Amino acid sequence: MHLFLQKISKKTLLGLAVMLALLALGCTVQSNKAMSEQENLDSKYNKQNLRIGVLPTQSQAEQQRMIKPLDEYLEKALGQQVDFQIAKDYKQVVDWLVEEKIDMAYVGAVSYFEALERGAEVEPLVAPIDKYTGRPWYRAAIIVNKNSTIKTLQDLKGKRVAFVSKSSTSGYLMPLAALTKLGIKPERDFTQVIFPGTHAKTEAMLEDGLVDAVATNIPSYIKRQTIGRLTPENSRILWESAPVPHSPMLVSKKLSPIVIKELKRAFLNTPAGMEDIVGTQAAGYTLVVASDYAPIEQLRVQLNLNSQGAK
């Protein structure tokens, strides 16, 4: 009896040893397969062009001029071709994200949430540090002519006002929140409401006397001054907002983790003095996460501007 049990024990041990060997071999094969798949994925993204969409904020020529230095820097830092695409309007860049026609996008906070609502698998990667605040935020503003009789937001009633776009954070959401708090409804209380589509076009309407006030942001207003257009001699700030989180650079969650890591490194090491690609005088970039933009989404919900409120 003892000998029989001993034989069974040896057979059992031998069987277990074989099973363990097979399991180890299987794990190794699976591990090698997973590593191979990841290497193929990384190789794919390292070989293909990196496609970056950009909101239209300035004239096409001016924005291309601002993009060129960053384009050249990223290609050198990443070792691959980078293709920037300037959208014709705010909606188009969101369409590109949803349709996966681009891998990254420089958008406003509102456009970020519009993309999420439509199913885009994206997340914030970095945001520019504003040269004037030293922080990754800026302020929205409403600008009027210097000699205008408009002294308060209430004085805008009965006037012509231009907002950038309903998808603009500083050019619509923030000013609308301030007006709503005072019981002012643009469509009801203003004689004309216009949406030119970019900050530059919106500001030009005030310069040309086509409107009495424009919604924009401080960095864009300052940029306008540098080219001798909206200067302190002919314009003034009627209202400005509390700090607004700066426009994020969104990245597709489907990009290789290695590529995303390299992108973070590249942006965090951007050379000093490089102009932000939408016109802001930037002092580098900083990492951002989704929660940094939660206050913007809360504001959209309060104003019924999100997808649920729009139904």
Tokens (6 digits) for 4: 């029989």
Specify if 311 maps to a domain.
no
The H or E element that residue 235 is part of is: strand 235-240
pLDDT digits (tens, 9 = 90+) for 225-238: 988 899 999 999 99
Residue span of the structural domain in which 15 resides:
1-39
Indicate left, alpha or beta for 36 from its phi (over 0: left) and psi (-120 to 50: alpha).
alpha
Which residue's entry shows tokens 């090491």? 269
| pLDDT at 202 > cutoff 60 | yes
Same domain (yes/no): 177, 217: yes
Alpha helices in 140-256 (DSSP H): 174-181, 186-189, 199-207, 218-226
Helices 257-268 and 2-47: crossing angle, nearest 10°? 50
Same domain (yes/no): 129, 256: yes
| pLDDT at 162 > cutoff 60 | yes
270 DSSP 8-state letter: P
DSSP structure string for 95-161? HHHHTT--SEEE--HHHHHHHHHTT--EEEEEEEEETTTSSSEE-EEEEEETT-S--SGGGGTTSEE
Same domain (yes/no): 29, 55: no
pLDDT digits (tens, 9 = 90+) for 90-140: 999 999 999 999 999 999 999 999 999 999 999 999 999 988 888 899 999
Specify if 307 maps to a domain.
no
The CA-based angle 100-103-107, given to 5 degrees, is 95
* pLDDT in the model for residue 130: 86
The H or E element that residue 7 is part of is: helix 2-47
How far apart are the C-alpha atoms of 50 and 69, rounded to whole Å?
A: 16
User: What pTM does this model have?
Assistant: 0.81
Same domain (yes/no): 32, 60: no
pLDDT digits (tens, 9 = 90+) for 251-265: 999 999 999 999 999
State whether the Cα torsion 202-206-212-217 is positive or negative: positive
Q: What is the CATH number of the domain that holds 188?
A: 3.40.190.10
Could you tell me if 244 and 140 are in contact, meaning their C-beta atoms sit under 8 angstroms apart?
A: yes
How far apart are the C-alpha atoms of 11 and 8, rounded to whole Å?
A: 5
Same domain (yes/no): 235, 99: no
